[in-house]
Amino acid sequence: MKHCDDIVFLFDCDNTLLDNDRVQDDLKVHLEDEFGRERCNRYWALFEELRAELGYADYLGALQRYRLDAGNDTRLLLMSSFLLDYPFAMRLYPDALQTIEHCRTWGLTVILSDGDVVLQPRKLQRSGLWDAVEGRVLIYIHKEQMLDDMQRRFPARHYVMVDDKVRVLAAMKVVLQDRLTTVFPRQGHYAHDLRNISRYPAADVTIERIGDLKQVDLPALLGPATSAPGKMELS
């Protein structure tokens, strides 16, 4: 039987610990410089098309589709290197690693992410996030639909989920209910889409940046789990 931890902290990756919007911006600049604006726009159209099909961002999969359009352009062979060798550690939010270390004094820390099976693990490894959680990494297509598997792997009496998407937090709350405290860092474009945010219940705790989580003491963090959502907000 697996040991049951008191608390497990679950951290999303993109726009929660790592500024993925800036990674995309860098990729857009690189694509336009190498291939021109028209082909750059075509890549992102294919990217969005594939994301709608798969339910997650697949940069390398979109590159495969782009290859069909671009023919035998040998510059494409270097595009995968740009993504796989990208300095993701430079795009960590301030205090991201320190926040994981701080939360480890309270309970187990786990990366719970969506993504593909090539670039997403590479991103976590090159950014230092993989080592920060000692390899406790779960990557699903839709993580909010895989909570049974998550609980089998990391059983706990209580979970804390930190994610920039209120949709995901709300879906997880429906399943785990009072056993889950949701934390919403207002970072990245999803977190500032007010029309989208208004469609879902507020998170238990709202913070402006990931480093603010270090300012919340454990009793306060767990308090919203048994009271009205959206009660705590740090700025």
Q: Name the 3-class secondary structure at 70.
A: helix
Judge residue 200's burial from the number of C-beta atoms within 10 Å of its C-beta, 0-12 exposed, 13-18 middle, 19 or more buried: middle
What contacts 147, CB < 8 A, 6 or more positions away?
172, 175, 176
pLDDT of 233 above 80: no
CB 171 within 8 A of CB 112: no
Topology of domain 5-18+92-233, CATH: Rossmann fold (3.40.50)
Average pLDDT over residues 10-39: 93
d(CA 57, CA 118): 12
At residue 36, the pLDDT reads 87
At residue 76, the pLDDT reads 74
Average pLDDT over residues 118-141: 96
Determine if residue 163 is left, alpha or beta; phi over 0 gives left, psi from -120 to 50 gives alpha, anything else beta.
beta
pLDDT of 146 above 70: yes
At residue 190, the pLDDT reads 83
Structure tokens at 46: 């294919």
CA distance to 9, 83, 127, 131, 149, per residue, from 87 (Å): 26, 9, 7, 16, 31
The correct answer on CATH 3.40.1190.10 for the domain covering 21-88 is no
Q: What angle do CA 55, 56, 57 make, to 5 degrees?
A: 140
Domain with CATH 3.40.50.1000 in the chain: 5-18+92-233
Give me the percent of the chain exceeding a pLDDT of 70.
Answer: 91
pLDDT in tens, 169-209: 999 999 999 999 999 999 988 888 888 888 999 999 999 99
Domain with CATH 1.10.286.50 in the chain: 21-88
d(CA 168, CA 161): 10
At residue 183, the pLDDT reads 96
pLDDT in tens, 69-83: 766 677 777 778 888
